[in-house]
Amino acid sequence: MPSESDFPRPGRPVRGSKTGKPIMALFDLLGRSWAMGVVWNLGEGPATFRALQQRCESISPTVLNRRLKELQEARWIEKSGRGYVLTSEGKELLELLRPLGVWSKRWAEHLEKT
């Protein structure tokens, strides 16, 4: 289980920022193994731990458990009677990430052509 000091929080030093600028704390958390994958997969709807593990393909139970705890601490996801779900902040984040998904497909096509 990650300690509170491991959780990237704005205002505290994080990877890439000694001052913990909010954008750097965001990128620190999103850059952790499977963090974006969990958010992205929960965009498909609620999921139990096992269902989310299947959606995320190769994620280990240990990593998934760690990410779920961090993403809950970030208040991007929460546990409900239906499993894990995105919070309103998590849904907003996902909507901001979707255009990057579209852009990444165009970028991949461009790289294939060169």
Q: Which domains does the chain have, with CATH numbers?
A: 32-113 (1.10.10.10)
pLDDT for res 1: 35
Whether residue 93 contacts residue 39, with contact meaning beta carbons closer than 8 Å, is answered with yes
Region 86-110 average pLDDT: 95
pLDDT in tens, 27-64: 999 999 999 999 999 999 999 999 999 999 989 999 99
**Residues 42/86, Cβ–Cβ less than 8 Å:** yes
Q: What is the pTM of this model?
A: 0.85
Q: Which residue has the higher pLDDT, 107 or 5?
A: 107
Phi-psi region of 67 (alpha: psi -120 to 50; beta: other; left: phi over 0): alpha
Distance CA(72)–CA(51), nearest Å, equals: 17
Beta bridge pairs of residue 84: 47, 79
In this prediction, residue 2 carries a pLDDT of: 39
Helical ranges in the chain per DSSP H? 22-30, 35-42, 49-55, 61-73, 88-113
Model pLDDT for residues 3-34, shown as the tens digit of each residue: 444 788 888 888 888 988 999 999 999 999 99
